[in-house]
Amino acid sequence: MKRSLGPSPLLFPSPAIVICSYDKEGRANAMTAAWSGISCSDPPCVSISLRKETYTYWNIMETKAFTVNIPSEEMVRSVDSFAMTSGRKADKLRNAGMTPIRSEVVNAPFIDEFPMALECQAVQFIELGMHTMFVGEIKDVKVSEETIGRSGEGLMMDIRPLVYSHDDHSYYSVGKKVANVGVSIGR
Cα distance between residue 17 and residue 86, in whole Å: 16
Does the protein bind a second copy through residue 31 (CB under 8 A)?
A: no
Does the protein bind a second copy through residue 186 (CB under 8 A)?
A: no
Does the protein bind a second copy through residue 10 (CB under 8 A)?
A: yes
Which stretch in 22-30, 53-61, 78-86 sits in contact with a second copy by CB under 8 A? 78-86
* CB-based burial, 160-179: b 16+ in 10 Å, e otherwise: bbbbbeeeeeebeeeeeeee
Q: Write out the binding residues for a second copy, residues 34-63 only, by CB under 8 A.
A: 34-47, 49
What residues contact residue 176 under an 8 Å CB cut-off, 6+ apart? none
What residues contact residue 122 under an 8 Å CB cut-off, 6+ apart? 60, 64, 65, 66, 134, 135, 136
Does the protein bind a second copy through residue 8 (CB under 8 A)?
A: yes
Does the protein bind a second copy through residue 176 (CB under 8 A)?
A: yes
Cα distance between residue 68 and residue 119, in whole Å: 7
Q: Write out the binding residues for a second copy, residues 82-141 only, by CB under 8 A.
A: 83-84, 101, 110, 112, 116-118, 124, 126, 128-131, 133, 135, 137-141
Q: Write out the binding residues for a second copy, residues 11-30 only, by CB under 8 A.
A: 11-15, 17
Does the protein bind a second copy through residue 163 (CB under 8 A)?
A: yes
